[in-house]
Amino acid sequence: MLESLRRIVQEVNNAQDLEQALNIIVGRVKQAVGADVCSVYLNDFENHRHVLQATEGLRADAVGRVRLEMGRGLIGLVSERAEPINLDDAANHPRYECIIDTGEERYHGFLGAPIIQNRKVLGVLVLRQRRRRHFGEDEVTFVMTLASQLAGAITFARTSGELARLQDDGIPQRFLPGLAASPGIGIGMAVVVYPPADLNAVPDRRPDDPDAEMRDFRRAVDDVARDLDRFAARTQVHLSAEDMALFDAWRLMLESDTLIDGTLSRISGGNWAPGALRETIAEHAKVFDNMDDAYLRERASDVRDLGRCILMHLQNQTAAPIQYPAQTILVGDEISAMQIADVPRERLVGIVSTTGSGSSHVGILARGMGVPAAMGVSDLPVSRIEGREMVVDGYRGRVYVSPGPAVRFEYQRLAEDDAALTNELQTLRHLPAETTDGYLIPLYLNTGLVSEARPLGIEESGGVGLYRTELPFIVRDSFPGEAAQMENYRHVLELFAPRPVTIRTLDIGGDKPLPYFPMQEANPFLGWRGIRITLDQPEIFLTQVRAILRAAIGLDNLRLLLPMISTVGEVDDALLLIQRAHDELLEEGYQVKMPPIGVMIEVPAAVYQTEALARRVDFLSVGTNDLTQYLLAVDRNNPHVAKLYNEYHPAVLRALLQILTGARLHGREVSVCGEMAGDPLATFLLLGMGVHSLSMGAGGLLRVKRVIRSISRARAREVLRVALECEDAGAVRRLLLDALEAVGLGALVRPGK
Ligand code: PEP
Ligand code: MG
């Protein structure tokens, strides 16, 4: 059963559109369970009915014609209860209604399973048996498991099919939901990015010159053939004749008409070589996937491997730089910082990814750069949207592909309102972040995620509150040396001098692995990360600290920050190493100074030890991104649980209060450098609590300043008092929205009305 399940899900995932997906489902499920009929009804919420969308066993002409009022009959009952119903004779059930036109009246056994996605019932999968039959527990769980796995594929296939049919004539259509990751409206043209040699991620694209594409493809196939020969010759001595036969099989596959002619005809049909190859390989692999013989089924992975090899050669030949349109919306399943940095800033108007969430590092980067972004848009068929017009609503996390004129017009208006707001905010650039009752709260910049000669926000910030040092480590193929690191740190220290620059020591691990430092961990966020790595590998830490201390010579604006602290022992050990690096440098004749040292409070354990930590260091900086993730047990990159990730959660607010109390006992200042600091709604809370400074991406600086300059500290304290009485994050957010709207600043967090 498990094997059939895996195969059915895989086939459905490869379907081109909804109709094909549903036909696969009904055909395969009927066969696997030995039922007489398998049908799928989908819920049509607009017209309030259940519609027969596919069947194997009932009359084919009933598809699309049989429509039941929502809530009626057994289908309605399964949908309403959102649980399976298993009856040996359906007609005896009080809710049974005979559906005419399908020939269903002759059947007795009935099993209906709801198809659910994100708590919403999308439809019902129904099995019928001519004789009386009570489906066994295994069969019920099989159908339920399948239905739960199919929901996503059904939504995806529906969107994909809709888009395939959609002409660029502005047919209005619904939006694709995702997660709000960076506020603002972006209207532009989709440029799809994908990891190299990842066949599934290759988009469809119209070729400029089909003949050249064909030539490239043929050349790539020849290259792979040569690779195979070379490899065969090299391994001949180590392999048996039987194993060597594998190479012949690969050659046969590589030279087969299915592969060559299939791809060439797709290129003449209007796709570029990589897209045509993707489709051909998927079709070819499917044939093997469907075979009953386990050995032959395994050949599907050989076909995919061959596809990857050809793609690799194709990409090597065609690695021309991407031409970004004037209004680029960068789209991908996963988008890297490097891919973002490759787009000239003035051309980048939006970022959309099918995975991740607002709190993942790409979200942080987008906010820092002020680029509207939606993440976790899981229904977006990335491979089909290259070159289409798109709208990204970064306030609500929505995406429109080829929007109709009404949608486009409305968003154009919102984008203009946004631009007006941005202009208005510019007038604050040289004004202090001071409340109406005269309380000053320095605003600092978070930077370092991408390499920029002049990061945005230099002028409007009071310095750097968080310089993330991971980038130079991520972009290389080995650890950077002391001199290379020093150059990097010197640049940022000089750029902001005499304003302070807080440099954080290396925080790799979690969602920032290093390609040359492999870590295989079941739970990377709970594993070897940040200070845990650098204390275990003191040579990495010492090199970095030496580079940082040397970079600051003569500037005196350095502050040093330690990430992921969960015990006082880690701080003691790190302080000893810093002292050692300092003393050694002095001995070597460098005029280094001991900078103020701080720790990040981002692990719940550190919250409860703030006092002991504060005693050891000069300042504290709260990393609300990780603190929220660890307090609420919600992976900040996982879109399935993104709804639960919420910085207004009462537990997060109480943790912040606890940190401030602990720090106060030793007179230490507390800064907040997580994303919460750049959220204009949270300004009320952080100001009310008495946080000493805020550090954020460039996109938040003027928005937060606007709030600070519009309210008094007394008002912030009042809002905080009420917030602390709320029992859930939703109530806190509503309260903050009301407070922001009361000072006329609602547009800072939602598009104008
Ligand atoms: C945080 O966790 O809030 C933080 C600022 O660090 P990072 O986002 O780099 O983990
Ligand atoms: Mg962190």
Q: Residue written as tokens 């190479």? A: 247
pLDDT of residue 195: 72
Grouping H, G, I as helix, E, B as strand and the rest as coil, residue 278 is helix
Question: Does the pLDDT of residue 131 top 90, yes or no?
Answer: yes
Tokens of 710: 């519009």
Question: Does the pLDDT of residue 54 top 60, yes or no?
Answer: yes
Question: Does the pLDDT of residue 350 top 50, yes or no?
Answer: yes
Q: How far is the CA of 564 from the centre of ligand 2 (A)?
A: 7
Tokens of 69: 């009022």
Q: Residue written as tokens 């997906």? A: 21
Q: Is the CB of 470 under 6 A from ligand 1?
A: no
Q: Name the pLDDT band for 654 (thresholds 50, 70, 90).
A: very high
Question: Does the pLDDT of residue 164 top 60, yes or no?
Answer: no
Q: Are strands 501-504 and 558-562 parallel, antiparallel or unpaired?
A: parallel
Q: Write the pLDDT tens digit of every residue in 446-482.
A: 998 766 666 777 888 999 999 999 887 876 767 889 9
Q: Write the pLDDT tens digit of every residue in 243-301.
A: 566 677 778 888 888 899 999 999 999 999 999 999 999 888 888 777 766 666 667 77
What share of the chain in percent tops pLDDT 90?
A: 55
Q: Name the pLDDT band for 146 (thresholds 50, 70, 90).
A: confident
Give the residue among 111, 113, 142, 152 at the shortest CA–CA distance from 2. 142
Task: Return the CATH class of domain 2-167.
Answer: alpha beta
Q: Is 325:189 a contact under the CB 8 Å cutoff?
A: yes
Cα 508 from Cα 318, distance rounded (Å): 33
> In the 8-state DSSP scheme, what is residue 753?
-
Mutate to test the pocket of ligand 1, among 471, 507, 696 (most ligand atoms within 8 A of CB): 507
Domain 176-193+322-406 is found in CATH 3.50.30.10: yes
Q: Is 458:495 a contact under the CB 8 Å cutoff?
A: yes
Greatest alpha-carbon pair distance for the chain in Å reads 95
pLDDT of residue 79: 93
Question: Does the pLDDT of residue 439 top 90, yes or no?
Answer: yes
H or E, element range at 515: none
| Options 1.10.274.10, 2.60.40.10, 3.90.1150.10, 1.20.1370.10; CATH of 199-314 | 1.10.274.10
* Most confident segment among 98-112, 223-237, 431-445, 474-488: 431-445
Question: How many other CB atoms are found less than 10 A from the CB of residue 63?
Answer: 20
Q: Is 388:408 a contact under the CB 8 Å cutoff?
A: no
Q: CB neighbours of 186 closer than 8 A, spacing ≥ 6?
A: 327, 329, 349, 350, 351, 371, 372, 390, 391, 392, 394, 415
Residue nearest atom 10 in ligand 1 by C-alpha distance: 626
Cβ neighbourhood burial of 454 (10 Å; 0-12, 13-18, 19+): exposed
Q: Is 53:41 a contact under the CB 8 Å cutoff?
A: yes
- Which-ligand-closest: CA of 628? 1
Q: Is the CB of 359 under 6 A from ligand 1?
A: no
Q: Is the CB of 127 under 6 A from ligand 1?
A: no
Q: Write the pLDDT tens digit of every residue in 657-672.
A: 999 999 999 999 999 9
Q: Write the pLDDT tens digit of every residue in 375-419.
A: 999 888 888 888 999 999 999 899 999 888 888 888 998 888 888
Weakest-pLDDT range from 19-23, 196-200, 666-670: 196-200
Q: Is the CB of 623 under 6 A from ligand 1?
A: yes
Q: CB neighbours of 290 closer than 8 A, spacing ≥ 6?
A: 7, 11
- Which-ligand-closest: CA of 512? 1
pLDDT of residue 417: 85
Q: Write the pLDDT tens digit of every residue in 304-329.
A: 878 888 998 888 765 567 889 999 99
Q: Is the CB of 673 under 6 A from ligand 1?
A: yes
Give the residue among 143, 119, 178 at the shortest CA–CA distance from 40. 143
Tokens of 533: 């790595």
Q: Write the pLDDT tens digit of every residue in 99-125.
A: 777 777 789 999 999 998 878 899 999
Mean pLDDT computed over 480-489: 93
Q: How far is the CA of 16 from the centre of ligand 1 (A)?
A: 40
What share of the chain in percent tops pLDDT 70?
A: 92
In the chain, count H helices and then E strands: 25, 22
309 is catalytic: no
pLDDT of residue 100: 72
Question: Does the pLDDT of residue 240 top 80, yes or no?
Answer: no
- Which-ligand-closest: CA of 637? 1
Residue nearest atom 3 in ligand 1 by C-alpha distance: 623
Q: What is the DSSP string of 84-120?
A: -EEES-GGGSTT----TTTTGGG--EEEEEEEEETTE
Grouping H, G, I as helix, E, B as strand and the rest as coil, residue 673 is coil
Residue of 50, 361, 582, 649 marked active site: 361
Average pLDDT, the chain: 88
Can you give the three-state secondary structure of 607-670, one letter per residue? HCCHHHHHHHCCEEEECHHHHHHHHHCCCCCCHHHHHHCCCCCHHHHHHHHHHHHHHHHCCCEE
Query: Side chain identity at 56, as an amino acid letter?
Result: E
Cα 198 from Cα 209, distance rounded (Å): 23
The answer to whether the Cα torsion of 654, 655, 661, 664 is positive or negative is negative
Mutate to test the pocket of ligand 1, among 468, 503, 635 (most ligand atoms within 8 A of CB): 468
Cα 566 from Cα 713, distance rounded (Å): 32
Q: Write the pLDDT tens digit of every residue in 32-47.
A: 899 999 999 998 888 8
Weakest-pLDDT range from 266-270, 356-360, 569-573: 356-360
- Which-ligand-closest: CA of 674? 1
Q: CB neighbours of 361 closer than 8 A, spacing ≥ 6?
A: 337, 449, 511, 512
154-177 burial, b if ≥16 CB within 10 A, otherwise e? bbbbbbbbbbeeeeeeeeebebbb
Q: How far is the CA of 340 from the centre of ligand 2 (A)?
A: 21
The atom of ligand 1 lying closest to the CA of 624 is 3
248 phi and psi, to 5 degrees? Answer: -65, -40
Question: Does the pLDDT of residue 753 top 50, yes or no?
Answer: no
Q: Is 696:680 a contact under the CB 8 Å cutoff?
A: no
Give the residue among 721, 682, 681, 679 at the shortest CA–CA distance from 697. 679
Query: For residues 77 and 302, which has the higher predicted lDDT (pLDDT)?
Result: 77
Q: CB neighbours of 697 closer than 8 A, spacing ≥ 6?
A: 364, 365, 367, 368, 369, 445, 446, 457, 675, 678
Q: Write the pLDDT tens digit of every residue in 608-623.
A: 999 999 999 999 999 9
Distance of CA 331 to the CA centre of its chain: 11
Mean pLDDT computed over 433-453: 88
Q: Is 153:21 a contact under the CB 8 Å cutoff?
A: yes
Q: Is 629:636 a contact under the CB 8 Å cutoff?
A: yes
Q: Is the CB of 631 under 6 A from ligand 1?
A: no
Q: Bridge-partner residues for 127, per DSSP?
A: 38, 111
Can you give the three-state secondary structure of 319-368, one letter per residue? CCCCCCCCCEEEEECCCCHHHHHHCCHHHEEEEEECCCCCCCHHHHHHHH
| Domain ranges for the chain | 2-167, 176-193+322-406, 199-314
H or E, element range at 36: none
692 is catalytic: no
pLDDT of residue 171: 37
Q: Residue written as tokens 């690695």? A: 319
Q: Is the CB of 625 under 6 A from ligand 1?
A: yes
Cα 197 from Cα 313, distance rounded (Å): 9
The atom of ligand 1 lying closest to the CA of 625 is 3
Q: How far is the CA of 623 from the centre of ligand 2 (A)?
A: 5
Starting from the edge strand earliest in sequence, which strands make up the sheet with 328-332, in order? 176-177, 398-401, 389-393, 185-192, 328-332, 348-353, 373-375, 179-182
Residue of 38, 309, 649, 673 marked active site: 673
Query: Side chain identity at 524, as an amino acid letter?
Result: P
Q: Write the pLDDT tens digit of every residue in 670-695.
A: 999 999 999 999 999 999 999 999 99
Mean pLDDT computed over 505-513: 87
Tokens of 691: 């946080």
Q: Name the pLDDT band for 242 (thresholds 50, 70, 90).
A: low
Question: How many other CB atoms are found less than 10 A from the CB of residue 671?
Answer: 24
Q: Give the length of the chain.
A: 753
Which alpha helices (H) appear in 456-537, and where do they start and end?
Answer: 471-474, 482-496, 531-536
Q: What is the DSSP string of 412-474?
A: HHHHHHHHHHHHHHHTTTTS--B-TTS-B--EEEEE-SS--SS-TTTTTSSSEEEE---HHHH
Q: How far is the CA of 198 from the centre of ligand 1 (A)?
A: 30
Give the residue among 450, 216, 447, 183 at the shortest CA–CA distance from 319. 216
